[in-house]
Amino acid sequence: MNPSQAAPGSQASLREANRLRVLETLREQGAMTQVEIAGSTGLSPATVSNMVKELDGAGAVELAPSIRNGRRAVLVSLATGNTLLAGIAFGDRDVRVAVATGPRDVIGRQRMPLPSNHNADEGMERAARLLYDLVEKSGKAMTDVKAVGVGIPAPVDSVSGQVGSESIMPGWRGVDVADELAGRLGAPVLVDNTANLGALGELRIGALQGVQDGVFLKLSHGIGAGLVIGGEVFRGSAGTAGEIGHLTIDEHGQICRCGNRGCLETFIGAQALGEALAVSHGRLTLRDIIARAQGGDVGCRRVLEDAGRHLGVAVAGLVNLLNPSVIVIGGQLALVGDLIVDPLRAAIERSAIPSAAASVTILSSELATEADVVGGIVAAEALHAASDALKVTIGSMS
């Protein structure tokens, strides 16, 4: 047995679980007194006192004097100091990077374009360059970056840590992204699908806060879904759940980049939208289509309305299967608002079980196009907290 890991059910395992519970409570609710922590976690005051002492000794929390109900008290909060967290979100044609002290406290963000079908080395090199630049501008050092959450627009195999499809992002085939980026950045890295990170960001500080069963739809160059079940992001047995963009809509349709026919992405992905407008409008990027639609262009508005209708047919299946209470629309196409949402809602009402359709609320993302980057920061925070808890556990065993 690895001596750094406590046996399940042991006293050490229970202490570690209690520490994680205290850290998670502070992360969600901010600074609290020990009495408030005990009330929120259900742990005894004595247990909380011991946990706080150990976490303070490990530098995982900070203590500050305060007054509560007219009495002196000590506020406990997560340690920040020189701690930075980073979120990186790769797109089909860009990479976005943010540094923060927490999900609500982004201190810098940058975006850099990427060529279509770029390879992993090129993408990771640009991401690293952006992160180094942001850290330098913040007056910090890369050693202050304690963890990085990374999203890629493809299924991520939770077993191998690699892209879960050989035909989606072929330039990233066979690459252990977490390991490669950790080597470039000198910090631990967690990798997930960008739609999952979008759901994570919305769960933490966005439109999915408090939602037990919901869906985050990321609509950009490709289409993905982050599924929330029981208040947590659901990834499936191999980490590839939520690939709604590759759900077959027409088995006799066009060949998709994933190798199947008639996937949803062949109807509403950026390439499909551009091809629908090519004869009348010439070559347009996704940003062009969105901007022209917002400006009243009839053709661009029409193809986006059609996209909403096709999306609604697919989402109706999700509504029937999962019965979510909330669906959040995010990604670049969320910028057109009701142009997508209205036909999406109409298709759900037409195609889903009436009781399921009536119980679902459709909302626009509260984090706009940055939900996945924020989710990366949330993931980095959890990774750092777990690392701190492990250090405390190891220290208490030595």
Domains 84-198+372-384 and 207-365 share a fold: yes
pLDDT digits (tens, 9 = 90+) for 189-235: 999 999 999 999 999 999 999 999 999 999 999 999 999 999 999 99
Domain 207-365 has CATH 3.30.420.40: yes
Selection from 193, 108, 197 nearest residue 158 by Cα: 193
11-79 adopts what CATH topology? Arc Repressor Mutant, subunit A (1.10.10)
Predicted pLDDT of residue 307: 96
1.10.645.10, 3.30.360.10, 3.30.420.40, 1.25.40.10: CATH of 84-198+372-384: 3.30.420.40
Mean pLDDT of 321-326: 97
For the chain, how big is the Rg over CA atoms in Å? 23
CA-CA distances (angstroms) from residue 385 to 83, 327, 346?
11, 29, 43
CA atoms within 13 A on the CB side of 115: 7
Q: Pick the residue with more confidence: 259 or 344?
A: 344
Predicted pLDDT of residue 388: 61
Reduced to 3 states, what is the DSSP secondary structure of residue 121? Answer: helix
Q: Among residues of the chain, what percentage have pLDDT more than 90?
A: 65
* Banded pLDDT at 160 (limits 50, 70, 90): confident
**What string of DSSP letters covers 124-161?**
HHHHHHHHHHHHHHTT--GGGEEEEEEEESS-B-TTTS
Residue 134 pLDDT greater than 60, yes or no = yes
pLDDT digits (tens, 9 = 90+) for 63-73: 888 777 778 88
Mean pLDDT of 86-103: 93
Mean of the per-residue pLDDT values for the chain? 89
Sheet containing strand 61-68, edge to edge, reads 32-33, 71-78, 61-68
Which of 30-34, 67-71, 131-135, 353-357 shows the lowest per-residue confidence on average (mean pLDDT)?
67-71
Residue ranges of the domains in the chain?
11-79, 84-198+372-384, 207-365
pTM of the model: 0.79
Residue 347 pLDDT greater than 90, yes or no = yes
Predicted pLDDT of residue 10: 61
Could you tell me if 299 and 277 are in contact, meaning their C-beta atoms sit under 8 angstroms apart? yes
Predicted pLDDT of residue 389: 56
Which of 22-31, 89-98, 355-364 shows the lowest per-residue confidence on average (mean pLDDT)?
22-31
Selection from 149, 346, 160 nearest residue 239 by Cα: 160
**What string of DSSP letters covers 211-232?**
-SSEEEEEESSSEEEEEEETTE
Dig out the tokens for 125 from the structure. 């090199």
Predicted pLDDT of residue 268: 94
Predicted pLDDT of residue 147: 96
Reduced to 3 states, what is the DSSP secondary structure of residue 393? Answer: helix
Q: Pick the residue with more confidence: 81 or 286?
A: 286
Residue 398 pLDDT greater than 80, yes or no = no
